[in-house]
Amino acid sequence: MASSTGDRSQAVRHGLRAKVLTLDGMNPRVRRVEYAVRGPIVQRALELEQELRQGVKKPFTEVIRANIGDAQAMGQRPITFLRQVLALCVNPDLLSSPNFPDDAKKRAERILQACGGHSLGAYSVSSGIQLIREDVARYIERRDGGIPADPNNVFLSTGASDAIVTVLKLLVAGEGHTRTGVLIPIPQYPLYSATLAELGAVQVDYYLDEERAWALDVAELHRALGQARDHCRPRALCVINPGNPTGQVQTRECIEAVIRFAFEERLFLLADEVYQDNVYAAGSQFHSFKKVLMEMGPPYAGQQELASFHSTSKGYMGECELGLAPDMFFCLRLLEETGICVVPGSGFGQREGTYHFRMTILPPLEKLRLLLEKLSRFHAKFTLEYS
């Protein structure tokens, strides 16, 4: 100890000062954190980009990033409407500007009315602005075929990752053999392994079946749980559906089996469903854990604990970059491609989010028959092109 003190004193005399935070002295749990999508491969990609900018010759002319779901970095154009609404909310003086469309102004005014002092800078409750949570609940209810969704059970966060980390923090406890274990799928998104390492929880791997298109097998859950109980206390089961990075979509029967397993083994369920809008395989259909749980009825619906997660970053939407309402766009395309002139429903008034067109049936029968045939063909083509 005296020698150590002497070394420090000598370092101070020479103008040197030992650092408080070093790799050796940092939190060992943080040092164990790994995040594959942002790891050494990505660092090397950044270096290669820099070298290309400096004129270094490579067998390629650009680095194409396919490592992370960063849509706009890959060239997806931002949605104008969303940015208009955000701009109006941040700077309400723009509400009087003729450069913003009425629908964006209406949406911004509705949001501002729900904020304290009608300002986006006001504090909200921890779970988020009540109006937005009510909107989210209505979306969930519509998604799940009318099953009620309580806005008081909705918690807004800055992305799904923050919410997942928050719930895991609530679940992790204990030391030694009583440390919390969390069952996660392998392959998994590294958020889970990184967070569990940082929190000092036990990662309990269950393997997806590659031979069956990465299906989840409840027998594998039983195996993983049985082995884990020898050295930790499993408290939670994480399911990623649709799978990330594997892309599989669970059947309803599989989801029911997982819920029964979690119920019987007293495990908290975390359903990572951020890719629910990205289902493409023929015959596949997304079923939310919440919907299936509620439809299973008692004892599951009333007693099984579940937190499900979604994110706007992995949803999808589109807009007309032409500045036209969808029904106006439809009518213009119809006229240009078929010569049929009809009137968009927006000229008559319609429920928000619905679109119509109006036509007469006055043409002679032979022209009306031709009109309807052309309209039918155009509608099928238009729907296929923009669905």
pLDDT tens, position by position, 22-77: 878 877 777 777 665 567 888 898 899 999 999 999 999 988 877 777 777 777 77
Same structural domain for residues 191 and 262? yes
Kindly indicate the confidence band of residue 137, based on its pLDDT and cuts at 50, 70 and 90.
Answer: very high
Quote the CA–CA distance of 192 and 33 in Å, as a whole number.
10
Comparing CA positions, the residue from 187, 272, 270 lying closest to residue 234 is: 270
Phi/psi class of residue 176: alpha, beta or left (left: φ > 0; alpha: ψ in -120 to 50)?
Answer: left
Do the domain assignments include residue 75?
no
Quote the CA–CA distance of 128 and 254 in Å, as a whole number.
33
State the average pLDDT over residues 305-312: 95
Residue type present at position 290: K
Query: Which residue(s) pair with 271 in the sheet?
Result: 239, 308
Average pLDDT, the chain: 89
pLDDT tens digits, residue range 309-362? Answer: 999 887 766 676 777 888 999 999 999 999 999 898 888 888 877 889 998 888
Q: Give 4 or 288, the one with higher predicted confidence.
A: 288
H-helix or E-strand spanning residue 271: strand 268-272
Same structural domain for residues 364 and 230? no
Comparing CA positions, the residue from 180, 197, 175 lying closest to residue 188 is: 197
CATH code, domain carrying 228: 3.40.640.10
> At which residue do the structure tokens 């063909």 appear?
377
Angle, CA 247 vertex, CA 245 and CA 252 arms, to 5° = 130
Comparing CA positions, the residue from 349, 305, 353, 358 lying closest to residue 331 is: 358
**Taking 60 as the threshold, does the pLDDT of residue 269 lie above it?**
yes
The whole-number pLDDT of residue 258 equals 98
pLDDT tens digits, residue range 158-188? Answer: 989 999 999 999 999 999 999 999 999 999 8
State the average pLDDT over residues 186-205: 92
Do the domain assignments include residue 320?
no
Angle, CA 9 vertex, CA 5 and CA 13 arms, to 5° = 170
* Residue 343, phi then psi, degrees to nearest 5: -115, 135
Do the domain assignments include residue 379?
yes
> At which residue do the structure tokens 């045939």 appear?
373
State the average pLDDT over residues 239-251: 94
Percent of the chain with pLDDT over 70: 93
**Which of 260, 285, 314 marks a domain boundary?**
314
Q: Is 59 helix (H, G, I), strand (E, B) or coil?
A: coil
**Taking 90 as the threshold, does the pLDDT of residue 307 lie above it?**
yes
Quick one: 284 exposed, middle or buried, by C-beta within 10 A (0-12, 13-18, 19+)?
A: middle
Quote the CA–CA distance of 182 and 272 in Å, as a whole number.
14
**Taking 90 as the threshold, does the pLDDT of residue 366 lie above it?**
no
Do the domain assignments include residue 71?
no
Do the domain assignments include residue 119?
yes
Same structural domain for residues 198 and 131? no
Quote the CA–CA distance of 238 and 285 in Å, as a whole number.
20
Quote the CA–CA distance of 77 and 22 in Å, as a whole number.
42
Question: Which tokens is 295 given?
Answer: 């439809």
State the average pLDDT over residues 232-260: 96
Q: For the beta carbon of residue 239, count every other beta carbon within 10 angstroms.
A: 24
CATH code, domain carrying 87: 1.10.287.1970
Same structural domain for residues 302 and 177? yes
Same structural domain for residues 94 and 57? no
The whole-number pLDDT of residue 1 equals 46
Integer CA distances (angstroms), 346 to 83, 201, 318, 343, in order:
23, 56, 19, 9
Domain count, the chain: 4
Domain that includes residue 31, residue range: 2-63
Q: For the beta carbon of residue 93, count every other beta carbon within 10 angstroms.
A: 7
**Taking 90 as the threshold, does the pLDDT of residue 289 lie above it?**
yes
Q: What is the pTM of this model?
A: 0.77
Kindly indicate the confidence band of residue 12, based on its pLDDT and cuts at 50, 70 and 90.
Answer: low
Quote the CA–CA distance of 300 and 23 in Å, as a whole number.
47
State the average pLDDT over residues 246-269: 96
Same structural domain for residues 293 and 221? yes
State the average pLDDT over residues 100-108: 93
